[in-house]
């Protein structure tokens, strides 16, 4: 096939991949969120190198809430961090919600 035009199979694959991508929910960048929270919580509590763990599968959606856990270095006990999404672009606000078990 050297006609230069894409075959019907190729066109169908493009349509299916575009449709599938449009339906898949956008996820928050958990690594980026964890780094930001780590920095901000470390500053607020005046504790260096706070480690933060957040779910990897949180959908980026305005108003959605998710829970993360922050731990100081060497500590097994942590703090629950309540994160609220301000929009679907990853902008969030957070608050310390109490001890984590």
**Residue 5 belongs to a domain:** no
* pLDDT recorded at residue 92: 95
**Residue 10 belongs to a domain:** no
**Residue 16 belongs to a domain:** no
**Residue 66 belongs to a domain:** yes
**Residue 44 belongs to a domain:** yes
Question: Residue 86 and residue 93: Cα distance in Å, rounded?
Answer: 7
Per-residue model confidence as pLDDT tens digits over 47-84: 999 999 999 999 999 999 999 999 999 999 999 999 99
The total domain count for the chain is: 1
DSSP 8-state secondary structure symbol assigned to residue 28: P
**Do residues 58 and 30 touch, judged by C-beta distance below 8 A?**
yes
Question: Residue 49 and residue 32: Cα distance in Å, rounded?
Answer: 15
What does pTM read for this prediction?
A: 0.74
Does 31 have pLDDT greater than 90?
Answer: yes
Residues spanned by the domain of 48: 26-100
**Residue 74 belongs to a domain:** yes
């Amino acid at each position: 096939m050297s006609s230069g035009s894409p075959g019907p199979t190729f066109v169908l694959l493009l349509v299916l991949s575009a449709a599938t991508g449009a339906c898949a929910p956008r996820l928050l960048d958990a690594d980026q969120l964890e780094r930001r929270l780590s920095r901000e919580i470390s500053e607020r509590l005046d504790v260096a190198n706070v480690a933060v763990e957040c779910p990897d599968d949180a959908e980026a959606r305005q108003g959605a809430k998710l829970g993360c856990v922050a731990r100081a270095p060497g500590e097994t006990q942590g703090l629950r961090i309540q994160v609220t999404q301000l929009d679907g672009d990853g902008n969030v606000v957070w608050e310390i919600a109490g001890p984590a078990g």
